[in-house]
Structure formats: C-alpha cells, structure tokens
Amino acid sequence: MDFAFTEEQLMIQDVARRIAREKIAPSAEHFDRTGEFPLDNIRTLGENGLMGIEVPQEYGGAGMDPIAYVLAIIEIAAADCAHSTIMSVNNSLFCNGILKNGTEAQKQKYVRAIAEGKEIGAYALTEPQSGSDASAMRCRAVKQPNGSWIVNGKKSWITSGPVAKYVNLFAMTEPEKGARGISAFLVDADRPGFIRGKTEPKLGIRASATCEIEFQDYVVEPDELLGKEGEGFKTAMGVLDAGRIGIASQAVGLARAAYEASVAYVRERKSFGQPIGSFQMIQAKIADMKCRLDAAHLLTLRAAWAKAQAEKSGGRFSTEASVAKLTASETAMYITHQALQIHGGMGYSKEMPLERYFRDAKITEIYEGTSEIQRLVIARNETGIR
C-alpha cells in the first residue's frame, strides 16, 4: 500500500500550512474572543485556491482531489477550527452539490464566486424543529403559474448565514410526498424576503458566524432550482457525505494541534524535579492520544480516497465518510480533554489555546450529523436493516 502524496497534494498542503501559521494562528484568539467574522483571512484562502479545492479550474477552483482537500483542511483547523468550518461549508456543502446537480449557468454564477473567495456560501437544511430528522422540514416552496416559487419558513443554525451572499436552500415543494417532496434551490441573500436572525452566541468556533434565516414570500426564479424537482433530499444527503469528510479533517487538525501542544508541554514542564513526561500516567495519555490521532487521520484519508473512487464509478462512500467523521470527532473530544488535563491550570486559562481547542472540539460531534446519526448510518449500511 502506497501512502505517498502527489506533488500537487503536497503543494496545496504547504500553501494551507503557510497561511495557517502566518495569518490565521496569530489572529485566532482575537476572532474567538470577539466573535468577528474573519473576512480578510477567508479572502486570502480564496485567493490561494483553498475555497474551491475540488472545484474544476474552469469554475474558478484549484481542480484538485479529495485527498488534497483533506490535507488542506487539517492544516487550517490546526490553526483555528472556526476558519476551517467556513472553508468546509464553502467547499463541501455549497460547491459540491452544484457541481453534481447544477446547470452550466449555475456553476458559472454560484460556484465561481465562492471558489474564488469573492462571496460566501451557506447550506440551509436544518430547521428549529428538525435537526437529525431533516425530512420533517416545514419550510415551504409553492410553485406559481409562471414557474417560479414562493418560499416561506425558517432555517436555523446556518453556518455563514450572517455573511452569505448565496444559499443552497432545501424546501418542501410537495409535503404529501415526505422526503421525496423536497427540492433544492439556489437563493440570493440580497433579495426581498430573505431575513437574517441574530448571530448565535456559541460555545466554540465563535468566528464562524451562525444564524437563523427566515423566508417571507421570497421569490425563487425557475432557473434557481438546483437539480430536479423533488430530488432535494437526495441531493442534501449526498452533499452531507462529502461534508462529513470535511468535518473529520477538521477534527483531525484540531486534535493534532492539541496533541502537539501536549507533547511539547510534557517535555518542558517539571514536577518533583523531572519532566512530567517521565511519569507513567502522562506517558499513557500521550500514547493513547497518538494512537487515536493516527487512526482518525488514516480513516479520514481512506474516506477521501473512497470519495475519489466513487466519483469515477458512480458509487457511494457514505460508510467510509461516517466512520471517519465519527472516529475523528470523538478523537478530537478525547484528545482535547486529555490535553487540558495534562496542562492543568494553564490549560484552563485563556492565556493558552487549549481551552479554545476543547470548546471547539465539541461541535464536531454535533454538526453534519451527530455521533448518534453516524452510528445509525454505519449500522444500517452494514446490516441492510432500516
């Protein structure tokens, strides 16, 4: 088995690492404390091809593969998880679905603007009463005689919602059909009827702006339907498979940062006249952290490889994506917890980034499918029992 990366993959990794270390890491504490959206940093990511890594060059992207995407996300997340969240939504949730299901005109209009970092995209699936049960949505799009739709309803926990220009919206067009009555649309946030709620005050990833969005008689034009009418739920689930690889990568990067900080600390911190890294209980923690980190990393790379193969064959990679997302997110929680314990009082202080890592890690077990949902997906795919 060859674990070597290509020259192109290593190149995008190096670009991401440089931006992460020179621009994102020095400003991470400021954005976490203030909750400001890091627009300049996101523009820099876009200018360097990191907001559309898998987007073909003819649509403004870097034209690279899923492995390159994983390597880049890991580097950005290691500097700041919130930045990688914005990057992941633009790459996976927004661009991916349009590239698979959009028209040529939609790709040129929506994908190019996002991939080049000129605009911010969002993905609106969740509603106040429907999280894991996405098919229970109430947001309604009613078709008009001229072929347009009138949209009314609310979406919640929309990442980048406060700043997004374009939104991939999922709404019920034929409620009597349940999940098969959901359609996907591409909407412009600058038009009448698009109302942004307050930015949510979150535990972690605070620089990643999140809000509720309300639609009041919002008009969607016929050419803004994404894919076929009634196939929105299928589109949403396919996009989430790709998104879960992004979250797994994010979790790996975050876990790596916490692990590396811990290794450095146990070498320097002394107690009872010797480095605390010489104590067996600390050594056990380091060993367990290393094993879990490597496992999460390799499973995430496997999921990216499976996605690349599926794109060639038309197959699925949902099991590999869920395994990676579940393992990596729970690894991030475990490693940041252990890192905080190793650092003791200093880990609890905002003078060090450990407490931010700990707060940021929790969301990876929740968004784009909770750990409980990942276990359902894996078990159902393995057993065939629904």
Residue 57's contacts (CB-CB under 8 Å, 6 or more residues apart) are 63
Query: What would the two tokens of residue 137 be?
Result: 């949505």
Contact 76, 83 (CB under 8 A): yes
Any catalytic annotation for residue 368?
Answer: yes
Residue 321's contacts (CB-CB under 8 Å, 6 or more residues apart) are 241, 242, 244, 245, 248, 303, 306, 307
Distance of CA 184 to the CA centre of its chain: 19
> Per DSSP, which regions of 266-362 are E strands?
270-271, 274-275
Distance CA 56, CA 102 (A): 14
What SS3 state is found at 157?
strand
Residue 34's contacts (CB-CB under 8 Å, 6 or more residues apart) are none
What SS3 state is found at 304?
helix
Phi-psi region of 227 (alpha: psi -120 to 50; beta: other; left: phi over 0): left
Annotated catalytic residue, options 127, 330, 355, 368: 368
Tell me the β-bridge partners of 315: none
Distance CA 106, CA 269 (A): 56
**Amino acid at site 135:** S
Q: Which residues are catalytic?
A: 368
